[in-house]
Amino acid sequence: MSVDVKKMDAIERYTLSAEKNIARNENQFLSQLQNESKAKLSEMKFPTLKTEEWKYTNLKHLLSTEFIHSAELDEVAITSDDVDKIKFNNFDNYLLVFVNGVLKKELSDFEELKNEIIVSTISEADEKIVEKYLSKIAVDKTAFDYLNLSNIIDGIFIQIADNKVLEKPIQIVNITGNKVDETFTPSRNLIIIGKNSEASIVQNYVGVEGEKYFNSISSEIFIDQNGVLNIYKVELENTDSYHIDKTDVLQSRNSQFNHFNFTFGGKLIRNDINTELSDENIECTLNGLYIGNDNQHIDNNTFINHAKPHCTSNELYKGILDDNSRGVFSGKILVERDAQLTNAYQNNNTILLSDNATVDTKPQLEIYADDVKCTHGATVGQLDESALFYILSRGIPRDKARTMLITAFAESVVTGVKIEALRNELNSLIFEHLNRDKVL
């Protein structure tokens, strides 16, 4: 009997999609995990504006679109020349290229990396290691979590042994799109950092061909004692695309996690980052910069759980919103009863360049310990007119003066990036997006 997909609601469509996807999977452990997620998905409902953590983000258009799982579509022809135009080229790095969720080894350059660490896809990785961590770090809350796991094509698996320091960053280029506009690409990543080890990862998300697609990404990260991980995520999605991303991090004693999120493209972007500081003397930094134009909707939701004493977290998110764009920032810091001598700082600053641009900001502190230093705050405003007047009085054109002020506003986020060449690339992207209507 044929199934009329058009009469299905979103839960039914993605449950059916999961059923087809699992049938293609030859990995027994993954299939079992996906079947369990499919069953949970079938019982769920997607968040609505009545859902507290999603109350500023309307999912109507995303959920009403009938996306086609990219595994059911013809492969997109991507050449090494295409990758060269997309990737960041100004610093030496190991390269992993994914096209619609599938690792393209012929376009990647990580043979040298394989001598240093274990790197593969999830389906090819050691099943005992995958079983130990996959879906154990992530906190499943919404239908999007079960949608992702039940429908994943594959994802990257990175395991760094103890006492390894990668001299070069790993650049992961994620290319999405198809000649069929409505493409759905789910992927899952698992990253394990060993004791006393250190790595930097640059995640680059770019759209090609079809404008309308849906990227569903979930990453689980474990950082062992004294481990250090730096992640730089750059979103350059197509203008009519959807990007729902969730990152869950578990940190051990004396570890450091630094996450930088830069959002430039996409119609609707949702970034969830959840970190658990599970032992003493842990450091966590979550920084982000988002630039919204036209009708973009950019939603950043963060959660830092201080579970043990002597830990520090720093969080700074900045937004630059123009036209009819809308930004959302919801950041929660939980300090549990045992987490004495916690230092936690959170700030969200937004500049509105248009009378029609809006932002909803909700910084939160929940503290149950006595001896802590915690602050949070949020500011929303327009460009400093006195500063603008001062620059104009020096004979600098208004457009250039405006760009100078906005670039200075973004600088405190960009300067935290430890890769100098990437900082320069980001500054160029900021300039391009602030001057998108002009011929550069």
Q: What pLDDT score was predicted for residue 74? A: 85
Q: Where are the beta strands (DSSP E) in 167-263?
A: 170-176, 183-193, 198-207, 213-223, 228-236, 242-251, 256-263
- Whether the Cβ atoms of residue 137 and residue 246 lie closer than 8 Å to each other: no
Domain boundaries, the chain: 5-279, 384-440
Contact between 368 and 333 (Cβ < 8 Å): no
What is the torsional sign of CA 192, 194, 196, 202?
negative
- What confidence score (pLDDT) does residue 439 get? 35
Count Cβ atoms within 10 A of the Cβ of residue 288 and give its class: 0-12 exposed, 13-18 middle, 19 or more buried: buried
Are 203 and 236 a contacting pair, CB within 8 Å?
Answer: no
The C-alpha atoms of residue 103 and residue 123 are separated, in whole angstroms, by 11
d(CA 189, CA 168): 20
Positive or negative, the CA dihedral 420, 421, 422, 424 is positive
pLDDT of residue 430: 92
Q: How many residues does the chain have?
A: 440
**What pLDDT, on a 0 to 100 scale, did the predictor assign at position 3?**
55
- Distance from C-alpha of 237 to C-alpha of 216, rounded to nearest angstrom: 13
Q: Name, in order, each residue with C-beta under 8 angstroms of 428's C-beta and a sequence gap of 6 or more.
A: none
List, for residues 395-429, the tens digit of each pLDDT value. Answer: 777 777 778 888 889 999 999 999 999 999 999 99
Give the tens place of pLDDT for each residue, 322-378.
Answer: 999 999 999 999 999 999 999 999 999 999 999 999 999 999 999 999 999 999 999
Q: In this structure, are residues 210 and 241 in contact, taking their beta carbons and an 8 Å threshold?
A: no
Stretches where the chain sits below pLDDT 50 are 1-2, 438-440
Answer yes or no: pTM beyond 0.85: yes
- Distance (Å) of CA 141 to CA 115, 147, 155, 193, 440: 38, 11, 21, 25, 44
How high is the pLDDT of residue 302? 97
Q: Which residues contact 131 (CB under 8 A, 6 or more apart)?
A: 29
